[in-house]
Every structure is written in structure tokens, then in C-alpha cells.
Amino acid sequence: MEHYLQASDYVGVSFWLVSVAMVASTVFFLYEGMHVKASWRVSLVVVGLVTLIAGIHYYYMRGYWINHGESPIVYRYIDWLLTVPLQMIEFYLILVAAGLAVSSSVFWRLLIGTLVMLLGGYFGETGIISPALGFVIGMAGWIYIIFEIFKGESSVVATKNDSIKSAFRALGLIVVVGWSIYPVGYIFGLLSPMIGFGTININFLNITYNLADFINKILFGLIIWNLAVKDSKNS
């Protein structure tokens, strides 16, 4: 029997709001992609794919939450395994769009960090390994990504163009500041019994994750869109 979204179900409402916001963002990014110069169109298509994939998964996550009252772990991590690598490739694509020479290995190194981060979190949340060990592995992947963005090859290449340097730094701050919301949800949602905050709080965990996705996916795309528009006008 299918259940329906209740006004008092704040977690379910957050799933629904994020799914609608992602769909709206997809329309915006794909439409705007037709009005920038050719070198930026792939980047805007990619951010549109990120929000489209997320929107579809959030629709199904909403349904799973309403019908089962459990965290939609599988749907969420499939979403992240598809969308986070697409976000990481943007660090490579914006450099190429600006005409800067950069090795494709930049993306592959970021992908390795992404997989370590996500698989650590997934194994911890599903009980394949202890939640604490999963958290440590996930954090190690995240720290590696941050290092690559701020100290790796791509950061050096980005300094050759002032506009790219500014946008690159803004995207990097999303990865540092915006992504820090996820471990907060993990700690106070999943690890709460270990740190003396009572039982596992899946409501806090899911609302935090939903908020983080809303901010990080859409704002990430808006920064790239803004850069594409500015560069197109200056051409």
C-alpha cells in the first residue's frame, strides 16, 4: 500500500522540495547552455545532468521514505556515485573551456578520492564495516580531494586565468565548506550513540544530507553558469 506525504513529515517534505528544485535547476542549466559560447556548453550540460540525476533519485527517495520510514541508503549512494564524479570532472572541464592546457589525470585523481569517500560512507551506513571506520575512510577520501583541488595540478593551471582562478576557488570552497555538512549529518545522525547523543537519528541524518545536496549541487552549477556567461560576454 502506498502512503502519501504528510505535512508533519518534515523529512519527507524535504525530499520533495529538493526533487522539485533539482528538476527546476536542470531546466535552467540546459536552457542557459544554449546561450553561452560553444566551449562552455558541455560544462552546463554536465551540471544539468547532475541536477537531473539528483532530481530523479530524490523522487524515489521520497517514496521510499514515506512507504518504509527508513533511510533510502541505496538510492542516495547511487545518486552520489553518479553525480559527484560529474561534479569532479567540472574542475577539468572549466579549465579546458577557458583554453588552458591541463592533463586528464586531474579528473582521474579526483575520481579516486571520490570513490574512497563514497564507498567508505556507504560501507559504514550499511553495516559492512563499522560506522566509525566508514567515517574515517570517507574523511580520508574527502581530504585527498581537497588537497588535489587546492594543491594539485589543476590549482596551478587555474592561476593562469584570473576569472577561472576566482571560480575555481569558489568551487573549491563548496567542496570544503559545503561538503562539511555531510559529515555533520553522519556524526550526529549515525554516530550519535558513540558520542553520547542517544540513539541513531535518521531524521537528522536525512534532513542534513538533503540540505547539503540542495546547496552543493545547485550552487556548484550556478558558479559554473556565472563563469560561462561572463566568459561568453567577453568573447
* pLDDT value at residue 112: 95
Domain of residue 146 covers 10-234
CATH number of the domain encompassing residue 70: 1.20.1070.10
**Residue 65, pLDDT above cutoff 80:** yes
- Report yes or no on 33 lying in a domain: yes
**Residue 94, pLDDT above cutoff 80:** yes
Q: What does the alpha-carbon distance between residue 135 and residue 72 come to, in Å, rounded to a whole number?
A: 18
- Report yes or no on 3 lying in a domain: no
For the chain, the maximum distance between any two Cα atoms, rounded to a whole number of angstroms, is 58
Quick: pLDDT tens for 104-139: 888 899 999 999 999 999 999 999 999 999 999 999
- Report yes or no on 100 lying in a domain: yes
Cell 550540460, residue located: 45
- Report yes or no on 1 lying in a domain: no
Average pLDDT over residues 34-63: 95
Share of the chain above pLDDT 90, in %: 72
**Residue 1, pLDDT above cutoff 60:** no
Average pLDDT over residues 42-47: 95
- Report yes or no on 181 lying in a domain: yes
Q: Which residues contact 12 (CB under 8 A, 6 or more apart)?
A: 5, 6, 62, 65, 66
Q: Which residues contact 29 (CB under 8 A, 6 or more apart)?
A: 44, 45, 47, 48, 51, 221, 225
- Report yes or no on 5 lying in a domain: no
Domain count, the chain: 1
Compare 18 and 155 and report the one with higher pLDDT.
18
- Report yes or no on 56 lying in a domain: yes
* pLDDT value at residue 2: 60
Q: What are the CA-CA distances from residue 6 to residues 10, 138, 199 (Å)? A: 8, 34, 24
